[in-house]
Amino acid sequence: MHLVYDVAPEDNGKTALELLRQRLNFSAAAAKRVRLHGQLLCNGLPIRMIDPVPAGGKLDIIHEAPEQECDLTFPPQVGDIRLLWQDSAFLIVDKPAGMLTHPNYIGETHNLLSWLNPGLHPVTRLDRDTSGLIIMARNAYIHSCFTQKPMEKYYLGVVHGQLAASSGCIDLPIGRAEGSIIERKVSPEGRPSLTEYEVLADGLTPSGERLQLVRFHLLTGRTHQIRVHCAYLGHPLVGDTLYGHHDSARTAEDLRLGRQALHAWSLRIQHPMSSQVLVCRCRLPQDMEQLLEACQLDFLPAAPVREALFTDELTLT
């Protein structure tokens, strides 16, 4: 990626590194990639990161080698992956359940990067069996910009039982479970973890079990945060085999879905280049829609209109 920065009078004498970090929102890692793999020019001449830059100068930053970027234009759908937004900076895609975000240590190829392009940089990630929205930056610089801008993430999930209140905030620290590299648990030694929730619908299944459709707002981003919080409260996500019902305790609804009933539904972000506000909403996938229909859940009066769950939305302001 080629960036150009016109040095302002107040930046006179600052080093190139200071301008990258302070004015262009480069992370330390991204600045290092410029130094190792890119080019840095002032008024057309090569300079070092530690060199001062004069006011009125033009700073050219060649951010990384071409093979580390992705400038392809993608069709609206690639395999089972739907593209809801794409421009020169990033993509927003709808990841299907059952697909990894990126290759794992054994090299599974059924992942977003293998299907789309290895040069993309996942800004957000989802568990294999969680569906929904993921942001993919086209290069490391855009990825770095996203980490320094606010982001609101909302999920939809179906839980067993009835939560104690129709809305609230779950404030329980989460840490790694002993003897596991995957499983997490609520622990006093864990990291602060905050999940806001609101019940949107509830009802009884044909077998008489109560289920609730819940909207979750992540205020922190811990691994498996929603799944761990729900399980700790005694209301695990339907279909969650790690934190929910096991073996003979699995219900018909657990078996019907075959994966945790969790969908990354909505994102509110600032565009990394223009700072415009982008809101993207992604409709519920077919398997969760069928689960709601089979259970005949009744929507609460304060819940969003039902159609909002089954349609996409994209606004830029």
Catalytic residues: 127
Phi and psi of 105, rounded to 5°?
-70, -15
Strands 151-160, 262-270: pairing is antiparallel
For residues 187-213, one letter each, b for 16 or more C-beta atoms within 10 angstroms of the residue's C-beta and e for the rest, the string is eeebeebbbebbbbbbeebeeeeebbb
Nearest CA among 264, 267, 263, 262 for reference residue 313:
267
Nearest CA among 221, 241, 222 for reference residue 231:
241
Distance CA(125)–CA(223), nearest Å, equals 10
**252: Cβ–Cβ under 8 A, 6 or more apart, which residues?**
205, 206, 207
